[in-house]
């Protein structure tokens, strides 16, 4: 057990399930919920707080962290911490935590929905019918049974996608630099290198964080090595797949479909990509279910309470330097 953190005043600066504030107040915290800060207002306000809870809207920049004279912990009610300057937080002795399990099922289900929709061209067929056309010949689908799904990233979400798509008769193969092949085999995924994976896939889905080594992981060179007609799904983080390169592959026929919930820029600026008829796109809804939002809010609050008791935060994403 580590030393208990003195978390007395907590700021929640993005919309979170009400249970987050309730749990913190029950633990004796003074909680302020305010979701309309400008950056300048947040820099001024953060000086008074020991802890901060955000989702993805609040940008916890170096300016914010450096102004936070009492800040001990930043909680991300979700998984990705792209909106938090973790390097500065680490240097300033501020712990950053996320809620790693809360949105797993929501993100996995969104991914599966994309795969199924791509296989039957659901979005385009729906738009066609709503436009007054009864066009059955154009929208010829393909069955998922017997097709190969390549999963890049075999953590919580990747394995839940694998289990669900196996129920459709898909063969699941995957790559993860951390998960051993023996562990992947336990959920019926054959682990292999990326060089082995690309040429085998009818569908590819990515489930990795956005890191320097995963930026543009799928690009022109990668797509050229894939099976002709491959379909690509990204419900993880924008930038893992190069949108312009995938657009070129869709135009040439090397790729035959894309399902994207996340984008290099959000809102997306690549209008040619999202307008392409073979692209299904949604506005970053992967974790946007009532259940997931409740789970991540509760998980963050429970970790704050654990830290107050001197217990471990299971969602820690950094190892802050000791305060001077």
Average pLDDT, the chain: 96
Residue 201 token pair: 């896939």
User: What is residue 83's predicted lDDT score, i.e. its pLDDT?
Assistant: 93
CB 81 within 8 A of CB 88: no
| 97-154 pLDDT, tens digit each | 999 889 999 999 999 999 999 999 999 999 999 999 999 999 999 999 999 999 999 9
Q: 110 and 86, same structural domain?
A: no
Residues 213 and 188 in one domain: yes
What's the rounded Cα separation, in Å, for the pair 87 and 292?
Answer: 28
Of 237, 264, 299, 302, the catalytic one is 237
- d(CA 95, CA 78) in angstroms, rounded, equals 16
Among residues 26, 196, 266, 291, the one annotated as catalytic is 266
Q: What single-letter DSSP state applies at residue 83?
A: T
Question: Are 262 and 295 part of one and the same domain?
Answer: no
State how far the alpha carbon of 127 is from the alpha carbons of 16, 139, 267, 270, in Å: 33, 12, 22, 21
Domain harbouring 34, CATH code = 3.40.50.720
Same domain for 159 and 242 = yes
* Secondary structure class of 31 (helix, strand, coil): strand
pLDDT band with cut points at 50, 70 and 90 for residue 79: confident
Domain around 114: 104-281
Within a domain: 317? no
Strands (E), the chain: 9-12, 30-33, 51-54, 73-76, 95-98, 148-152, 171-175, 190-191, 203-206, 230-234, 255-260, 279-281
Q: Are the CB atoms for 160 and 108 separated by under 8 Å? A: yes
Are 154 and 15 contained in the same domain? no
Statement to judge: residues 196 and 261 lie in one domain:
yes
Do 191 and 263 have their domain in common?
yes
Q: Tell me if 323 is assigned to some domain.
A: no
Instruction: Say which of 109, 160, 284, 299 is annotated catalytic.
Output: 284
Total domains in the chain come to 2
Q: Does 173 lie in the same domain as 163?
A: yes
- 266 an active-site residue? yes
Q: Does 1 fall in a domain?
A: no
For 221-251, what is each residue's pLDDT tens digit? Answer: 999 999 999 999 999 999 999 999 999 999 9
Say yes or no: 229 and 270 in one domain: yes
Q: What is the pLDDT of residues 1-54, one digit of tens each?
A: 578 999 999 999 999 999 999 999 999 999 999 999 999 999 999 999 999 999
Q: Are residues 33 and 156 in the same domain?
A: no
**Domain co-membership, 174 together with 296:** no
Please give the distance of CA 156 from its chain centroid, rounded to a whole number.
Answer: 11
User: Under a CB-based contact definition with an 8 Å cutoff, are residues 295 and 16 in contact?
Assistant: no
Q: Is 276 a catalytic residue?
A: no
Could you confirm whether 92 is annotated as catalytic?
Answer: no
Q: Is the domain of 83 the same as that of 143?
A: no
């Amino acid at each position: 057990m580590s030393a208990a953190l003195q978390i007395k005043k907590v700021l929640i600066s993005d919309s979170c399930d009400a249970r987050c504030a309730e749990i913190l107040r029950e633990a004796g915290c003074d909680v302020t919920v305010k979701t309309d800060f400008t950056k300048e207002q947040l820099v001024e306000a953060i000086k008074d707080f020991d802890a901060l809870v955000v989702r993805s809207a609040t940008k916890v920049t170096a300016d914010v962290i450096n102004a936070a004279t009492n800040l001990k912990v930043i909680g991300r009610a979700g998984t990705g911490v792209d909106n938090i300057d973790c390097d500065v937080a680490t240097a300033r002795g501020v712990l950053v935590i996320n809620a790693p399990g809360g949105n797993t099922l929501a993100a996995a289900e969104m991914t599966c929905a994309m795969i199924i929709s791509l296989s039957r061209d659901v979005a385009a067929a729906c738009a066609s019918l709503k436009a007054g056309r009864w066009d059955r010949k154009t929208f010829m689908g393909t069955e998922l049974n017997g097709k190969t799904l390549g999963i890049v990233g075999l953590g919580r979400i990747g394995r839940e996608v694998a289990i669900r798509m196996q129920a459709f008769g898909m063969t699941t193969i995957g790559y993860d630099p951390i998960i051993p092949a023996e562990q992947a085999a336990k959920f019926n995924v054959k682990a292999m290198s990326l060089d082995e994976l690309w040429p085998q896939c009818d569908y590819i889905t990515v489930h990795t964080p956005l890191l320097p080594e995963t930026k543009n992981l799928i690009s022109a060179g990668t797509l050229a090595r894939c099976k002709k007609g491959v379909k690509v799904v990204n419900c993880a983080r924008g930038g893992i797949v190069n949108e312009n390169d995938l657009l070129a592959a869709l135009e040439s026929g090397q790729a035959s479909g894309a399902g994207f919930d996340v984008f290099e820029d959000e809102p997306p600026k690549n209008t040619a990509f999202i307008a392409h008829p073979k692209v299904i796109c949604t506005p970053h809804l992967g974790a946007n279910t009532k259940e997931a939002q409740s789970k991540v809010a509760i998980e963050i609050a429970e970790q704050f309470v654990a830290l107050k008791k001197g217990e471990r935060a299971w969602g820690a994403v950094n190892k802050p330097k000791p305060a001077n």
